[in-house]
């Protein structure tokens, strides 16, 4: 589906949601968005796309190679990353936490997290994606309220 209008609409929709994440100030962790928020941000974006836009994205999860995790003890560990895929599109709203990526939102038909970065990729089933805990649901609800109040 190489439809420029669809791609533009998807980008606009995803940007509104990412902006709502930032405006809602839902996270109390010391890390600055997007660093360290890829899984939860991708999960709530997936929930939004499924419930409000009838899209059926997949959550993709991988272990990145050669990265130093930002734990308090500065121990070296494997770092993970998560993003969405919908049809042939890769949708990543936290890719700019990595120095190689400058765009706040990456929507592309190419796969940016290739073997150079990932040791392996796991596709998370939709049912598991939507089985969110109460804390994540609370975050989602705040982001959705922010999004709806801005429209």
How many angstroms from the chain centroid is the CA of residue 58? 11
Structural domain range at position 9: 4-149
pTM recorded for the entire structure: 0.83
Q: Rounded CA gap, 88 and 90, in Å?
A: 7
d(CA 50, CA 88): 16
Count how many domains the chain has. 1
Dist CA 136 CA 43 (whole Å): 9
User: pLDDT digit string (tens) for 110-151?
Assistant: 766 655 667 677 787 777 777 788 888 999 999 999 999 987
Specify the residue for token string 């989602």. Answer: 140
> Can you spell out the DSSP letters for 5-20?
HHHHHHHHHHHHHHHH
């Amino acid at each position: 589906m190489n439809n420029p209008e669809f791609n533009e609409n998807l980008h606009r929709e995803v940007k509104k949601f990412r902006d709502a994440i930032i405006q809602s100030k839902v996270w109390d962790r010391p890390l600055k968005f997007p660093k360290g928020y890829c899984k939860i941000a991708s999960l709530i974006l997936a929930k939004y796309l499924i419930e409000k836009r009838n899209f059926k994205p997949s959550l993709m999860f991988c272990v990145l190679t050669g990265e130093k995790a930002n734990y308090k003890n500065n121990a070296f560990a494997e770092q993970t990353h998560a993003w969405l895929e919908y049809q042939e599109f890769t949708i990543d709203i936290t890719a700019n936490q990595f120095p190689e990526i400058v765009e706040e939102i990456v929507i592309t038909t190419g796969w940016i997290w290739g073997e150079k970065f990932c040791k392996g990729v796991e596709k998370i089933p939709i049912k598991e994606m939507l089985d969110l805990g109460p804390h994540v649901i609370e975050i989602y609800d705040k982001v959705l309220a922010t999004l709806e109040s801005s429209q």
